[in-house]
Amino acid sequence: MRIQACTLRTLSDLVEAGRMDVRDLQDHSDRDAGGDACADIQEATASEPLTLEEEYENQQSWRTSHDKLTFIICQPLDAASDAASVKAGEVDEAARMIGDINFFVYPHDDEEEGEGAYVGEVDVMVASKEHRGKGVGYAAVTTLLVYVHRNQERILKEYVEGEGKSGKAELKGLMVKIKEGNAASISLFKRVGFTQKGEVNYFGEVTMVLNDLGQFVASPAGLKAAEESREVAYAR
């Protein structure tokens, strides 16, 4: 499954998972403010509706926040392309947008892990109905995990410095929160290797965890994602 996506932040290399890229924030907001920002997406992602102004403010933070990575998932590049860079506004026009995927960093909630232990949360949304059920979410998640594994040192460094802290930082695991009725997402993350932790919470969400990112990367799914992905420069 080939897709495109690009981070909107400092770690601004294009991740190709086959491959991924991204568009201007306002274009993405305009698209989400239309039919794609429908009730079923809000239910599936456990999110609240935002005004267009609130959405702009939220997405402007993508460029500056030290605690998250945001990628916009777009339709694939030409399979034969071996370009070292892509140009903003060409491969990532609004009509090519499919959804987005995010990676958040938090301090670990287990005090026994000690200071310097962190957990990453994954959040993926395929807004375009025509692209659901076709492996886009799975491709985006597996590629993101490979990207995080390759770049976890600088991701954690940026987070720690942004918090005004210092010292060794270690990613102890990953998590995802999913509405209990979202069978497709639960199945997707089970396929990647996440397992449910605890019971359904007050908000009707299940928490799924992946304790060993390295184990995923060494698995057939991780090796395939690594083989099919590459990073290219994103020229504005």
Select the highest-mean-pLDDT range: 8-17, 95-104, 113-122, 182-191: 182-191
Q: Is the pLDDT of residue 54 over 80?
A: no
User: Do residues 210 and 192 touch, judged by C-beta distance below 8 A?
Assistant: yes
Q: What is the pLDDT of residue 217?
A: 94
Band (pLDDT 50/70/90 cuts) for residue 30 is: very low
Q: Is the pLDDT of residue 49 over 60?
A: no
**pTM of full prediction above 0.85:** no
Instruction: Report the CATH number at residue 46.
Output: 3.40.630.30
User: Do residues 22 and 7 touch, judged by C-beta distance below 8 A?
Assistant: yes
Domain count, the chain: 1
Range of the domain at 56: 4-235
Q: What average pLDDT does the chain have?
A: 75
| 105-114 tens-digit pLDDT | 988 876 665 6
User: Do residues 205 and 177 touch, judged by C-beta distance below 8 A?
Assistant: yes
Between helix 220-227 and helix 136-162 the angle, nearest 10°, is 80
Q: What is the pLDDT of residue 189?
A: 94
